[in-house]
Amino acid sequence: MQELEPSVLKKINEWLQGSYDAETKQHVQKLLDEKSFTELTDSFYRDLEFGTGGLRGIMGPGSNRINKYTIGAATQGLSNYLKKTYPREQIKVAVAHDSRNNSDYFARITAEVFSANGIYVYFFKELRPTPELSFAIRELGCKSGVMLTASHNPKEYNGYKAYGADGGQFVSPEDTKVMEEVAAVSSVDKIKFNPEEQNIELLGEEIDELYLDKITNLSVSPEAIKRQKDLKIVYSPIHGTGITLVPQALKRFGFTNITLVEEQVKPDGNFPTVVYPNPEEKEALTLALQKGREIDADLILATDPDADRVGIAVKNNEGEFILFNGNQTGSLLINYLLTAWEEKGKLSGNEYIVKTIVTSYIIDEIAKARNVECYNTLTGFKYIGELMTKFEGKKTFIGGGEESYGYLIGELVRDKDAVVSAAFIAEMTAFYKDKGSSLFDALLEMYQQYGFYKEKLVSVTKKGKSGAEEIKAMMERFRNNPPATLGGSRVTALKDYELRVETNIASGDKKELELPKSDVLQFITEDGSIISARPSGTEPKIKFYCSVKTTLSDKSAYQATSAQLDEKVNSIMNDLGV
């Protein structure tokens, strides 16, 4: 026992002696008997907390794991918060889940705890995409909602995304209030697990129809789609929820030639055909790329398990399929939307787009050229949603997104939406094909016009308690001893979002940053490179976002210029010791 810290042992004993089910207790006792102290420490050394994406963790028994009791405590805490916030109202919430193992079980627990607290629950009877939950909250007048998902994480994970009345994830100060209420659920005995079935209403196809109809009404270039309706599209839901709505959305937009990746169509929480169900990973698109080559596709689309993120592949000028990263797809989407809106005479000067501080700054340039406001938020789509709610009815949101493959077009939801994004990426492909161009050509033209921006994300994984301490030490080192040069260029400014201060390195002058406090550091160099360091709020990782830029003189210089920028990124990462 000497290898377990007293606080961890105390937590373990609470679970062994408390009102937990026999199977859970047996599992914990077995780990004790086997002296699995590392696993026990990781399972019990803390309580799971709401990060940038809510609760997320490995499934299993323990206070730092996703299980019936941590899900129950989160829902009880959220119920207490809602009842205090809306004391004299009939509170309604929506609950949905993705294809992960146990997601349906955890969703049912969530709905039951809400119902036991006298809260009316709209419960999606089958798996559905995350953005549809956000849509349902807004459409049905709910005060909150919960999505059971761990997005693109490995199969061992699950999670709990909590939403506010605007259909966006909770932001400050509400997120802190919810966390305080969850923390106040100090005992399993405080969780109301006995459902009131009359408080649970099942949702099905009727909300799908409403959502799809409203998405279709957003289309900007229906004439181009009519002429290019047989565009060859390959789509994979990577064993997730996208299969329920993405093919339908593409058909509603007018596309008739959609090929599904049959091996990945069936929802399956074991994700049997991929290592990670993440459209950012080339490996996850292996089968989609094979199918694309087979039918000579114009566009390959793949969505993650909860269908809020989408990855794409297109042919380059040599006829080879290449994957676009999140910055490339997001930049192209914004460029297309602003081009199409301008051609239709829809830009009035009251429109805006939103991105995050770690997303390509070519988007800022594109917006500036069209006199459209571009706002930058902290990382996490909840901040984009927060801004949209602030401007609702005052300005028109065209679109926005973040480098991690999450985009949104239109104001129907307050989260990233791969359903509407997939439809618009297909529309964008048709728009350029109608002009005798391709998405790859459109990318090169965008680089020629606005500058060749290249971004790379480097993630360093540090697992468990010791990993969390290592990540903290890395951030302290960068904060206290920032590098003088990166990639051969002098660091001219340091933005510390934790302290909310921007420092001019040469003069020492400081100015306040407007965005909320967040553990992010940004180094800005003389030649315009921007390097951001940020610990993940949902995974045991520290992430480095590197953005470099130059000019692209001619399309034929693309490969050589791209290679030069790659070298620069590597040089910067070496300077950071990553």
- Say how many CA atoms lie within 13 Å of 118 toward its Cβ: 9
Domain limits for position 286: 210-221+228-450
| In a shared domain, residues 434 and 538 | no
3 pLDDT band, cuts 50/70/90, is confident
Mean pLDDT of 200-216: 97
| In a shared domain, residues 346 and 463 | no
**pLDDT tens track for 230-242:** 999 999 999 999 9
| In a shared domain, residues 214 and 193 | no
| In a shared domain, residues 412 and 463 | no
| In a shared domain, residues 444 and 488 | no
Mean pLDDT of 543-552: 96
**Angle (CA) 508 512 516, round 5°:** 135
pLDDT for position 128: 98
Distance of CA 467 to the CA centre of its chain: 23
Q: Indicate the residue among 399, 433, 450 that finishes a domain.
A: 450
| In a shared domain, residues 410 and 482 | no
pTM higher than the cut 0.85: yes
| In a shared domain, residues 331 and 479 | no
pLDDT for position 2: 54
**pLDDT tens track for 250-301:** 999 999 999 999 999 999 999 999 999 999 999 999 999 999 999 999 999 9
pLDDT for position 492: 97
For residue 424 the two structure tokens come to 């618009």
b/e per residue 171-190 (b: at least 16 CB within 10 A): beebbebbbebbeebeebee
Total of domains in the chain = 3
b/e per residue 208-224 (b: at least 16 CB within 10 A): bebbbebbbebbbbeeb
| In a shared domain, residues 131 and 148 | yes
Q: Which of 79, 151, 489, 532 is catalytic?
A: 151
Consecutive H or E run containing 30 = helix 22-33
Mean pLDDT of 30-59: 86
**pLDDT tens track for 129-153:** 999 999 999 999 999 999 999 988 8
Write the CB contacts of 66 (distance below 8 Å, at least 6 apart in sequence): 48, 55, 56, 57, 58, 59, 60, 106, 150, 157, 158, 159, 160
Question: Does the residue 8 lie in any domain?
Answer: no
pLDDT for position 1: 44
b/e per residue 19-54 (b: at least 16 CB within 10 A): ebeeebeebbeebbeeeebeebbbbbbbbbebbbbb
| In a shared domain, residues 414 and 499 | no
Alpha helices for 128-218 (secondary structure H): 130-139, 174-183, 205-216
CATH code at position 391: 3.40.120.10
User: Percent of the chain, pLDDT > 90?
Assistant: 91
| In a shared domain, residues 287 and 409 | yes
pLDDT at position 51 over 70: no
Mean pLDDT of 507-535: 95
48 pLDDT band, cuts 50/70/90, is confident
pLDDT at position 50 over 70: no
Q: Indicate the residue among 388, 423, 450 that finishes a domain.
A: 450
**CA–CA dist 320, 318 (Å, integer):** 6
Question: Is the link from the previous residue into 277 a cis peptide, with omega within 30 of 0?
Answer: no
Question: Does the residue 311 lie in any domain?
Answer: yes
CATH code at position 532: 3.30.310
Question: Does the residue 20 lie in any domain?
Answer: no
**pLDDT tens track for 561-571:** 999 999 999 99
Question: Does the residue 7 lie in any domain?
Answer: no
Mean pLDDT of 470-496: 94
**pLDDT tens track for 373-431:** 999 999 889 999 999 999 999 999 999 999 999 999 999 999 999 999 999 999 999 99
Q: Strand 541-550 vs strand 310-315: parallel, antiparallel, or unpaired?
A: unpaired
| In a shared domain, residues 313 and 434 | yes
Is there a catalytic annotation at residue 459? Answer: no
pLDDT at position 52 over 60: no
Q: Which of 76, 63, 89, 66 is nearest to 7 (CA)?
A: 63
Q: Which of 460, 435, 455, 457 is nearest to 445 (CA)?
A: 435
**More confident of the two residues 481 and 114:** 114
Question: Does the residue 497 lie in any domain?
Answer: yes
| In a shared domain, residues 323 and 427 | yes
Give whole-number Cα distances, 161 to 38, 98, 105, 462, in Å.
Answer: 28, 11, 15, 23
